[in-house]
Chain A
Amino acid sequence: MPILEHLWIILALPLAGAASNGLFGKNWSKTIINSVGIGSVSLAFLSVLEAIREFSLLPDGQVSFFKNYFNWMAAGSFKVDFALQMDHLTIVMLLVVTFVSLLVHIYSAGYMAHEEGYYRFFAYLNLFVFFMLTLVLAANIVLMFVGWEGVGLCSYLLIGFWFLKQSAINAGKKAFITTRIGDFGFTVGILLLFWTFGSVDFGTVFAKAANMPAESATQAGVLTWICLLLFAGAIGKSAQLPLYVWLPDAMEGPTPVSALIHAATMVTAGVYMVARMHALFSRAPIAMFVVAAVGAITAFYAATIGLVQTDIKKVLAYSTVSQLGYMFLGCGVGAYAAGIFHLMTHAFFKGLLFLAAGSVIHAMGGEQDMRNMGGLRKQIPVTYWTMFIATLAIAGIPGFAGFFSKDEILDAAGSGSDAHLTLWVLALAGAGLTSFYMFRLIFLTFFGKPRFDEHKVHVHESPRSMTVPLMILALLSIVGGWFAAPHLLGKTDHFEAFLHPVFATYGVPAGLEQRASLAGAAGEQGGIFATPAMELLHAVTGPPVVLAIIGLLVAWWFYVRRPDAPKKLAESVHGLYKLLLDKYYVDETYERVIIRPFLWISANVFWHVVDENVIDGTVNGVASVAREVGGQARELQSGNARSYATWVVVGAVGFTVLMLGVWGMVR
């Protein structure tokens, strides 16, 4: 079992790529940089496949494979090992991360071809893959946190890739600092976890947690606090309310970065973390509810902002925030598998959307404002068709990937044991809005008359290195959801079944039924309807699909049939329109309420008072004391021999008195 024994190889490959490109890439040709960068990730992907193959050879009862490579830290009873583990959940995440990363790397070869710092970009991308894989493969929460922080670092580096642009630098800082706030909660959560369980290792912690009873829904016990603190980190990293503000600004970075980091992988780390820690979350109903509520509210909230944005990437950014909300909603109502399923399908179609948007921007020579586009579908057909497929997927049109995953989540929210009607309504409304604004994007960009000067902008299709990944992702956006297709017919959901062992291991005590198997609810009751066909019909005519189609039609009406209708509507509800356009003034509020006071305190209190007076004062004070004492002491060396002689006599007298009198040495 070569790879499985040495899981660290999967990590080492992208790290080696990053190091090589980072240290030596300056002098290498694009071909070499490409080979190193793309090659390392493809090798990592192949290693993942091989590891999966080896994993499948393990005996049936074994749920996870764990290997401790060396002890990293040991301080008293706090032991952190470099230990990696693999189970079905890890496999899903590994496949998503490595495959989508590979596609983004190939795409970047085309997109960033004319950029300065080409080698730097690939180095950072590889480094990001390394950290993300560490996060996914980690077998204890501290190592996961290393990956967590590492992806945050790479996100900062990549958002601020064009570091000569002030807005990019600011966006990078904003991303890092905002996620840091969440990470603080995460750190405290780790401490509390260690304090409660005496270990940071997942196996040990979950086994101990399995013996603990579920906490009440009204009183917050220690498990609830741990989960809430860890979720605070997820709020930051996965851009939920109130720490989502960095994600739209992160669009300053190159589009492949947005695709990889801010759609497919890094932002999903929070969801992965919640799913991984399900043993704790399932036993903390308050935390579960908070997760679900935050997810649902964010899903709706972000969708409302996305309705009116004009920058193509900003729409997608808010869409990402919204879809992440769905994933958290899924986890929060106990349908962890559904949340992860949506994570996977979202990686496909959102990654595709971003890459295709990059292709559009590339075709338009850098234009990102949709108001200046239009009528592009004949001119860049590949981009158009792939993006259209992705939009169908995200809107939840039956048959495409997003339909299956979103449907499962809404199902769980609406009718599962932890269901909550308000959240279901919010999520449903969000789905409708999603469909609307995504089709709005398509219609504005690709339909109608061109709203730009065709002589100035030379619209051309992107090179093969960019279009081939688009096509692959489009295919996945269609078939990626078919794992769950049989579920519609009343039978088992394959994806669900695949993840079932992971979520069932640390089963919840009676009374709180974990939604480990969605199939069970429908299948065990013998199917709600008599025949598979009726089941299917029921599924495709449910509220989500209806809303999706309504969204499509409204968008078509507004942007194809009557292009001036939006303007009239915006004028009639001008206040509301402005509110949405300015993103509810959240950034401005943060600036006034938090940032400015903080800066004032830092400058006036911490700098002037503490740093200058207290710290410098102490240090200088010590020095001046030394100088003064020295100054006094050196006067002793006066050069006067009689003075010296007198001091000698002083010593002699002292000594004789001591020896003879006090210590009585004379007999």
Chain B
Amino acid sequence: MEIFQIVAIAVVATVLSVLIKNQKPEIGIYISLVTGIVVFIFVVAKLQSVIEILNQLANKINIDDIYLSTILKIVGIAYIAEFGAQVCKDAGEGVIASKIEFAGKILIMVMAVPILVSLMDLIINMVP
């Protein structure tokens, strides 16, 4: 079970981070950053197979490829923005963190515009 490894890594990293942050807060940030990345790389292989299955399902029911790839892009943007915002917030820079979240929201909105347009087209076609 990988969850035990992940929890063990996280607990050890937390202890180290608390230890270092008393002396040098600037290096303590790096520890939390690296821990986040390590945990993500642990679980990323599992996620790959789920995305593969989603792709196969989308191919099977003949859905347009743009929808699935847009959703995946949105998930990716949301994840990266959340990650960066958490790191900034952890370092005590709540302002920069909220700016990152703002930028993430705008980029997600831009990504979602084509889907919105196609939905609008569908509605307009249905209601003459």
Asked if A pairs with B, the answer is: no
